[in-house]
Structure 1
């Protein structure tokens, strides 16, 4: 791992994400980029090079002052988190937030995104979702979401929830690398629901086959019964007092996403534990 991206809005959760990123960077030697994006208002024009085109001098003056204030806030954030020995660079831009994050991931060859999340619920969640949720859905690298301060981030008990089908193979390599990074124990869990019920013996055989196929070490196999998958994952994580949850996401968008939802994105919204997601 060489490059970690931490998008920040200067909230408490964003600071917690920066602290987690520093902990990971100390273990891996990665450099961190702190990115703050001033969300371009609707109707904003951009040049061919991506620069904002201002409609008048007052608008340009306002934006210049906002950029200066933002840079001051960025310096304060960097000074707040002890990061001695970790390379930290910063970037401030005016753009569409999620689009800019995806661009930086591609241009800077980012290996990991660490983001703060306040979570959302109710009508707001259904209609628009959060920027964090959109990044989880679209990022082409692993994403860790953080809601609460993680003192000396070192997950030792990690839940890996999956249906363990063939397409999770690439994600499993990512998950194994995080397990090895922290010398953690992985708890493989399959949530058995009434709508897709299978016998425990069949499911245990499926999970054991997956563990053997991906050469997992230091793991447990678990079948957990619950009404819906998301609740089952949350309840299981609570039962074992997990430090982190890992899941693959299919990154559905549009009508399909609104109708069927995504378990990984729901978890990001509803759990206080860090969640590592990887888009298949």
Structure 2
């Protein structure tokens, strides 16, 4: 029985990404290590993404608080607003939304950059000159995304909680100390640790998919645009799939 063309293409690409990922683990732990390029990518991927992540986090915390307040007032539990917002941001909304923003900004950037290098034969030139393009271009970027996204999630959560504090004080007068006491009293390690750990997997997925799409780009400038777009779509989808798996694992371990 012959599989439909779309299904066959899906499995072909899944297999290609798996081989690409396997090569990453093969190359990542073998010298020579591109330390300078890795630090440069951490700066580009992490530091330059902070303003967008911070602004989005602040607005998210503010809007979430303003949307939740009327419902809590109706049920007479308005005092639980800081605790509910804190749990929602730390456990789910913060990591996932930050990862989606990261996929849109960094995934497309990596896909377009490596795709442009591929179609202009710069990657082939690196191989001819004796440089390992996979280690220099892929390993450094994937390691940087894996490391930087959890840090961005932590900073984004902190800024988002501050935005929620501003939202709480639109209608009431709650002190900074009281607000954060209510938030952290409602949180446990089982809320924080799974959310932090899964952000490493989000970062790895965004990096590996962006590099895969760029490294396999073709058909000139049209292919570069397609690679950038595909990197965003596939990495965003993988964020949701990994989040679903993370929820199932934490539920099995009794951490929910």
Give the TM-score of the pair, scaled to structure 2. Answer: 0.27
Higher fraction of strand: 1
Say which one has the larger Rg: 2
Q: Which has the higher relative contact order, 1 or 2, with Cα contacts under 8 A spaced 6 or more apart?
A: 2
Give the TM-score of the pair, scaled to structure 1. Answer: 0.25
Higher fraction of helix: 2
